[in-house]
Chains A and B, each alone.
Chain A
Amino acid sequence: MNRIDRTFSKLRKKQESALIPFITTGDPDLVTTEALILEMDRQGADIIELGLPFSDPLADGPTIQAASQRALRNHVNALDLFHVISSARHKTDIPIVLMGYYNPVLQYGLDRFAEDAAAAGIDGTIIPDLPLEEAGSWMKAARRCGVANIFLVAPNTPEGRIRKIARATAGFLYYVSVTGITGARQEIPPELSEGLQSVRKMTKKPVAVGFGISRKEQVSMLSGAADGIIVGSAIVKIIEAGTEETENGLKASPELVDRVGRFVRELKDATL
């Protein structure tokens, strides 16, 4: 059983939803990324989603696009991400899921990427531009190395297709809360609970919900309805606010890590 499965089965027994915060690797620098992983773990995160920056993140809104751009200013690449995780792995056993677009994975080499990801301690991947039809080679490589490939479904995905995707997904099924791109939203759509409910009827695998969830009230509202709740842009915004432009490039303010930690704690409490 990999770390993701263990976490969900433990939480299911406690009837608790997983809190899954997202940050972009290397935003604003790699040292901060490692510190954030450890701090978010301490503050109650159940799984961590780490973004691999890409020049053309077409499923992301302005907040995560900007995070990608900041990381790319530091030329952050897949190897850096593996190094950060290897290093964090000495101190934490929290499940870590990589979120990245397909081209950087492909250029690294699918087999090599899967091997190096597994060796670094990555438990799963979310590749938003790799739908089921195109995912064969990557799924094979990932499975061979014990890396879970997590698929997404959306509110407009037909039922038959949801079932097919649910069969193929590993770790959990990612339910996209809105037809749209990532980004904090004031309101979550009223149909969301219903949509989640019907998807959960179609699969025994855990279902985590993400896109647009930004406040603890929303988290607490969704905590019964989903096995996991993913919060991205709202956290990335705190990182953005805590980042300064200096002569030597981007610099994290001394309070940044604590601020993110406090927010993660609030969100986690909202799942209880």
Chain B
Amino acid sequence: MPNPDTETKTAFRLPPVAEKCVVRTKSGPDRKGHFGYFGGKFVPEILMPAITELEAEYRKARKDRSFKEELREILRSYVGRPTSLYEARRLGERLGGIRVFLKREDLTHTGAHKINNTIGQVLLAKRMGKTRIIAETGAGQHGVATATAAALMDLECEIYMGRKDTVRQSMNVFRMELAGAKVIPVDSGTRTLKDAINEAIRDWVTNVHNTHYVIGSVVGPHPYPVMVRDFQSVIGKEARSQLKKITGGLPDLIIACVGGGSNAMGIFYPFVRDQGVGMVGVEAAGEGVDTDHHSATLSVGRPGVLHGTMSYLLQDRWGQIKGAHSVAPGLDYPGVGPEHSALKESGRVKYVAVDDEQALAGFKLLCETEGIIPALESAHAVAYLAEAAEILPKDSAVLVNLSGRGDKDVETVAEIFRERGGK
């Protein structure tokens, strides 16, 4: 169906990376959780009853008025939703006169979009009669958001975190502990996020009778990619109506960073059918996509199966999973949500990669022009915005998901700048 909002914009040309927009007629996965070739449930048999139950309970909860109202009320009074949509005028001017709208997920309680999902899932777990919550975390943001939701709803909570990450992000370890969670350092494999997920799945396999596993992104077996997307879609829904109030129309381009892909799915999804709205997912190129130190899964990976789902992966030719790297710990994952893989294949969303250097420049740019310290993850989106601005027509409306605040990263950044003599 042609969208009236886009009809008037025929003269507008998307940046080359976002040019090939195909509108998908069908959204969401099939009944087995497949987005085309991607997705599915590649899990040990022991977990099948649990994810089948989760799927059924989630479907019921989605239709249940009281569940939806309870969720909405917590999001409003506790999380601080709706988050504001802020027009970053100085930044827009600096970038040659485009209109930049920042969706301020950094202003939520705990400081990142992650909480939208954890509140939803923990509420669901409680409804299912589970007494124990587990989660994985890399940067610690999802761990903090899970521990927070578990504290709010009075459930026992244990968080798996790669040993390396517990050292890199010790402050978040303390925040989780303050919220009453137990943080379990993971020493297997690469001792980072992917291994924390392995360990969380092993725990779930063992304690599935009383435990719900809160996955932190749109990854994992069906129904997680759908469920997490739905809980995060509140971002895009709000942004859509907020932007309509300001500009009377839809954005020309939406930009979000992609680790597992939850903040991106959350802001993209309500616009997926709007032809003419360009979308770009920004992955972390780390030290460069031609090195071994990056997390640009969609840009240079190959489809494969990890953590219960078929999606793009960083892997060697034998199918062993490679380690990922980024200056932004939350992007440091060798997989990505299956729906992103499908959106890439269909051409609906373009995926690009921005390296550590560019991300740091994006970080500084937003601090200087707007007085907003973005999370290093979100700084990747800002960095790509600066790149896209060079070819965007004047007055283009660009929606950027500011997925989190940078408090957690200031030490890292300070250290990097110190090493370079204050720059």
Pairing of A with B = yes
What mask results when residues 156 to 169 of chain A are scored 1 for a CB within 8 Å of chain B, else 0? 11100100010000
Q: Does B308 contact A (CB under 8 A)?
A: yes
Within 8 Å CB of B317, what residues of A?
Answer: 107
Within 8 Å CB of A78, what residues of B?
Answer: 318
Complex CA gap A47/B194 in Å reads 34
Complex CA gap A157/B44 in Å reads 11
A-B contact count (CB 8 A): 104
Contact A58 B44 (CB under 8 A): yes
Q: Does A221 contact B (CB under 8 A)?
A: no
Contact B320 A133 (CB under 8 A): no
What mask results when residues 1 to 41 of chain B are scored 1 for a CB within 8 Å of chain A, else 0? 00000000000000000000000000000001000000011
Cβ-defined partner of B198 (8 Å) among A58, A72, A130, A151 = A58
Q: Does B273 contact A (CB under 8 A)?
A: no
Q: Does B171 contact A (CB under 8 A)?
A: no
Complex CA gap A154/B46 in Å reads 6
Contact B194 A56 (CB under 8 A): yes
Contact B205 A102 (CB under 8 A): no
Q: Does B151 contact A (CB under 8 A)?
A: no
Contact B49 A152 (CB under 8 A): no
Contact B305 A129 (CB under 8 A): yes
Nearest CB on B from A130, distance (A):
6
Contact B42 A130 (CB under 8 A): yes
What mask results when residues 113 to 133 of chain A are scored 1 for a CB within 8 Å of chain B, else 0? 000000000000000111101
Q: Does A55 contact B (CB under 8 A)?
A: yes
Complex CA gap A207/B387 in Å reads 60
Q: Does B48 contact A (CB under 8 A)?
A: yes
Nearest CB on A from B174, distance (A):
27
Q: Does A77 contact B (CB under 8 A)?
A: yes
Complex CA gap A144/B305 in Å reads 23
Q: Does B242 contact A (CB under 8 A)?
A: no
Contact B40 A181 (CB under 8 A): no
Contact A72 B208 (CB under 8 A): no
Q: Scan residues 57-75 of chain A and give those whose CB is less than 8 A from a CB of chain B.
A: 57-59, 61-62, 65, 69, 72
Contact B48 A103 (CB under 8 A): no
What mask results when residues 382 to 398 of chain B are scored 1 for a CB within 8 Å of chain A, else 0? 00000000000000000
Contact B320 A55 (CB under 8 A): yes
Cβ-defined partner of B305 (8 Å) among A103, A156, A157, A179 = A103
Q: Does B307 contact A (CB under 8 A)?
A: yes
Contact A131 B43 (CB under 8 A): yes
Knowing A56-B189, A65-B188, A129-B305 touch, does A107 contact B45 (C-beta < 8 A)? Answer: no
What mask results when residues 93 to 105 of chain A are scored 1 for a CB within 8 Å of chain B, else 0? 0000000011111
Contact A134 B206 (CB under 8 A): no
Knowing A103-B306, A176-B45 touch, does A156 contact B319 (C-beta < 8 A)? Answer: no
Within 8 Å CB of B321, what residues of A?
Answer: 55-56, 103
Give the contact-size bracket for chain A.
35 or more
Contact A72 B320 (CB under 8 A): yes
Cβ-defined partner of A153 (8 Å) among B45, B198, B206, B209 = B45
Q: Does B304 contact A (CB under 8 A)?
A: yes
Cβ-defined partner of A55 (8 Å) among B40, B189, B308 = B189
Q: Scan residues 191-245 of chain A and give those whose CB is less than 8 A from a CB of chain B.
A: none
Contact B44 A59 (CB under 8 A): yes
A158 to B, closest residue via Cβ: B49
Contact A104 B320 (CB under 8 A): yes
Q: Does B353 contact A (CB under 8 A)?
A: no
Contact A59 B205 (CB under 8 A): yes
Complex CA gap A77/B318 in Å reads 7
Within 8 Å CB of A154, what residues of B?
Answer: 44-46
Give the contact-size bracket for chain B.
20 to 34
Within 8 Å CB of A35, what residues of B?
Answer: none
Complex CA gap A103/B40 in Å reads 14
Nearest CB on A from B240, distance (A):
35
Contact B305 A102 (CB under 8 A): yes
Within 8 Å CB of A22, what residues of B?
Answer: none
Complex CA gap A130/B221 in Å reads 12
Contact A104 B44 (CB under 8 A): no
Q: Does A54 contact B (CB under 8 A)?
A: yes
B308 to A, closest residue via Cβ: A129
Contact B318 A104 (CB under 8 A): yes
Nearest CB on B from A146, distance (A):
24
Knowing A56-B306, A58-B202 touch, does A103 contact B315 (C-beta < 8 A)? Answer: yes
Contact B206 A180 (CB under 8 A): yes
Q: Does B201 contact A (CB under 8 A)?
A: yes
Within 8 Å CB of B201, what residues of A?
Answer: 58
Nearest CB on B from A112, distance (A):
13
Nearest CB on A from B144, distance (A):
24
Complex CA gap A131/B47 in Å reads 10
Nearest CB on B from A164, distance (A):
11
A107 to B, closest residue via Cβ: B319
What mask results when residues 259 to 274 of chain B are scored 1 for a CB within 8 Å of chain A, else 0? 0000000000000000
Q: Scan residues 158-196 of chain B and give those whose CB is less than 8 A from a CB of chain A.
A: 188-189, 194-195
Contact A106 B304 (CB under 8 A): yes
Contact B206 A157 (CB under 8 A): no
Within 8 Å CB of B320, what residues of A?
Answer: 54-55, 72, 104
Most buried by B among A65, A131, A151: A131
Sample of 11 more A-B contacts, CB < 8 Å, known A106-B319, A128-B44, A179-B209: A56-B321, A72-B320, A103-B321, A105-B319, A107-B319, A108-B318, A129-B44, A131-B41, A131-B42, A158-B49, A179-B46
Seen from chain B, the residues whose Cβ lies within 8 Å of a Cβ on chain A are 32, 40-46, 48-49, 188-189, 194-195, 198, 201-202, 205-206, 208-209, 302, 304-308, 313, 315, 317-321
Smallest CB-CB A-B distances: 5 pairs: A107-B319, A104-B319, A103-B319, A180-B206, A154-B46
- Show 16 residue pairs from A and B whose CB-CB distance is below 8 angstroms, ordered by the A residue: A59-B44, A69-B189, A72-B320, A77-B318, A101-B305, A107-B304, A131-B41, A131-B44, A131-B45, A133-B40, A156-B46, A157-B49, A158-B49, A165-B45, A179-B209, A181-B202
